[in-house]
Structure formats: structure tokens, C-alpha cells
Amino acid sequence: MAEPTIATGFAEAFLQFAVSRGANRQTLIEQSGLPPAHLSERDNRLPLTTYLALLKAGIKLCNEPALALLFGAEVSLSDISIVGLVSQAATAEEGCRQINRYARLAIDGGDGATAHRFEFVPEAGQIWVRFRSTLFADNPLLTESAFARCVCDGRKMAAATGGVIQWPSPKAIRFTHVEPSYRAEYDRIFGVPLEFGSSMNAILFGEELLSVRMPPPNQYLFGLLTERAEELLEKLEESKSMRGRVESLLIPILQTGEAKIETIARKLGLSRQTLFRKLKAEGVTFEQVLDELRYKLAREYLDGKNVSVNETAYLLGFSDAAAFSRAFKRWTGASPRTMKAGRSLTKEPSTDYTDSKALRRTVGS
């Protein structure tokens, strides 16, 4: 079973929010185990456990138990993820279908846990918008952040259009988790009757929710966003291959020196030999996966201009800059400093692994 993941945009947005509340960015990164250079692209994926560790570190450093709730209330989904842009449909029901298709680009349960994540449940002439994912039931910090964002984004949208969009206000909210010590913040943000310890995570609206009509989106822009979202869905599915799962586990530990097949096999609950066989069935070896991942990340780090050659060597787990330079020359035929100077490198990494002794020296550097 693949590990639940979240789009990196959530982590970067929370980092900025927590820093604005007094936390130190570097301390947050260190305490949560975030790979810092990986944050440069908001559509990258992070283990959900890493993001939850970030939320908890922020709460502690800011001395604010309601920090995840406040984050949801103040930072809109459209500022974090493509999901907040591509789900702006003409009606609430169409929007629900769009979100259910693309919600995995925000948070993916790894096993289909986010499939049909939202549903409309009629009750006595009203509509419950129910969050079905077990990820919410298991993680109250995710629930309170997502609910605050859902309610407050609706208010922001109505305010931004001068009331042209009559987005209905919620009438009540239910949570499966127990009442927190900062209940007063819930009351202030939501302003409706709240029920804790419920059988479902859901927001109650009047039937007018179904009659809300949104302005038609710019078709050209919407087409580009949808095309990008479909590409990301395809990429997400590819990441669930054994190679993709190995890569996702390697990224957070590259700099620790523990990027070894035994370490990854243990994290996957497999024997070393079983992992070897599963990768072989996909046409790769562990050494290839590690080597090509390092090459890809090296290009990202050096292209970004904010990471030095020495820092890149450290982030990729090389013993020193010289070892990294040797590997980079093998990959591209040029030195990493040449790339930093702005020279375009288009050569693909060598996939000739016949010189196994040289490869072991490079991978183990």
C-alpha cells in the first residue's frame, strides 16, 4: 500500500504562515524533516506524515494550539493547490464532481482513500456536505484546517464579487474528533452550531446550495488548468509504482546517509531480496533509481539558483562536493559549477551500468 502524500504547496504555504506568526523557518524544516529544496515546486509530493509533523512543529513553536485552524481560515486553497483553481465549476454539484476527481492532487490516501471524498447528504430539506475520507477522521488537524478553508473561502468569494455570487452560509458543522481546548476559536471562525464526537465530518447548508450559479470560467485558462491537472493525476499514478514509492522514501533521507536498499526495504515492510525482485520486474535496480533521482534533484536544485554546489552535494547525500562533481560530470559531461554559471545542459544521464565498480563508488559517495 502506497504511503499517503500531500502536495508540497501545502507545506510551503504553512511554512510562510507559521513564520508570520513568529516561528523560525529553518527550525520548522529541521523539526519536521522537510527536504527544503523539494519545496521549490508546489506540485511535488511529500509524505503526509511529514506535513503533519510540520503542523505540530508550527503549533509548538508558535505556542498556538489553533494554528492549523487559523491557517485554513486565512490561506485560500487557490493560493496553495491547482485543486482550488480547477474546481471552480458553474454549479455546486459540478464543483463537487470536479473536486472528487482532482482532490487527490491535494491529499492522496495512497490506497484510494480520497476517492469520492465529498458527497451531498439530504436531510430534512437541507444538505450535508460530507467529507468521507478516513484521512480526515484520523487527523483532526487536517479536518479543522480543511473545514475552516472551505467556509472562509466561500465568504471570501462572495465578498470579492460584491455579493454577485450568493454563496450560502453554513448552518451547522459536525466533527468526528473531540472538542479541542481552543473551542472558542472554532466558534469565532465558524459562527454556527458545532457538534463534536459526531459520526461524520460534514457541513450543513440549506437547499439553496444546489441553486448557486457561478460565473462561467475563462475557457482558455480553464482548459490549461484542466490539462495540467490531468498530467499531475497521471504522474501521481506513476508514483505508485515500486520505483515511485522508493523515490518518495529516498527523498527525505538522502542527506542522512541512510539511502540504502536495506533502509527502504525496511520502510516498505519488505525483505531486501523482495524489493530487488520488484524493482527488477519494473526494469530497474535500486542503484539506478537512486542515481537517477540524484541527477534529477541536482538539476532542480542548481536550476533554482538558490542552492550552492556544496549545499546540493549535502542534500543529495554525497560525502563532499568533489564526489558530487564526479557524479555530475558522469551524468552530463560538465561540472555542476558550469551549470550554476548558466550553461544549458541537455545531455541525459548515462544509463550504462556496466562499470559496476564505478557506479558503486558514486552511489555510495
Residue 51's pLDDT is 95
3-state SS class at 100: helix
Whether the Cβ atoms of residue 77 and residue 83 lie closer than 8 Å to each other: yes
Per-residue pLDDT of the chain (365 residues; tens, 9 = 90+): 567 889 999 999 999 999 999 999 999 999 998 887 778 788 888 889 999 999 999 999 999 999 999 999 999 998 998 888 877 665 677 777 787 788 888 888 765 544 447 888 899 889 999 988 888 889 999 999 999 999 998 888 777 766 666 678 899 999 999 999 999 999 999 999 999 999 999 999 998 887 777 666 777 887 888 888 888 888 887 777 888 889 888 988 888 888 999 999 998 888 999 999 999 999 999 999 999 999 988 888 887 657 888 888 888 999 888 999 999 999 988 888 887 776 444 444 444 443 334 344 344 44
Identity at 192, one-letter amino acid code: V
Q: In the CATH scheme, what is the homologous superfamily, with its name and number, of domain 241-363? A: Homeodomain-like (1.10.10.60)
Rounded to an integer, what is the distance from CA 74 to the centroid of its chain?
19
What are residue 66's phi and psi, to 5 degrees?
Answer: -95, 20
DSSP annotation of 213: B
Cell numbers 541527477 correspond to: 295
Give, to the nearest 10 degrees, the angle between helix 67-74 and helix 48-62.
100
3-state SS class at 104: helix
Rounded to an integer, what is the distance from CA 326 to the centroid of its chain?
33
Contacts of 179 (CB under 8 A, 6+ apart): 196, 197
Comparing 5-232 with 241-363, is the CATH topology the same? no
CA distance 288 to 173: 50
Identify the helix (H) or strand (E) that includes residue 159. helix 140-160
- Distance from first CA to last CA of the chain, Å, rounded? 31
CA distance 142 to 48: 10
Residue 144's pLDDT is 97
Identity at 53, one-letter amino acid code: A
Is residue 102 classed exposed, middle or buried when 0-12, 13-18 and 19+ CB atoms within 10 A define those classes? buried
CA distance 354 to 276: 18
Which cell numbers hold the place of 234?
497521471
Pick the closest to residue 151 from 114, 195, 98, 191 (CA basis).
191
Which cell numbers hold the place of 4?
499517503
CA distance 76 to 148: 10
The architecture of the domain spanning 5-232 is Alpha-Beta Complex (3.90)
* Cβ neighbours, 10 Å, residue 256: 10
In the chain, domain spans: 5-232, 241-363
Is residue 276 classed exposed, middle or buried when 0-12, 13-18 and 19+ CB atoms within 10 A define those classes? middle
Pick the closest to residue 318 from 258, 360, 255 (CA basis).
255
Query: What is this structure's pTM?
Result: 0.69
CA distance 294 to 312: 10
DSSP annotation of 217: P
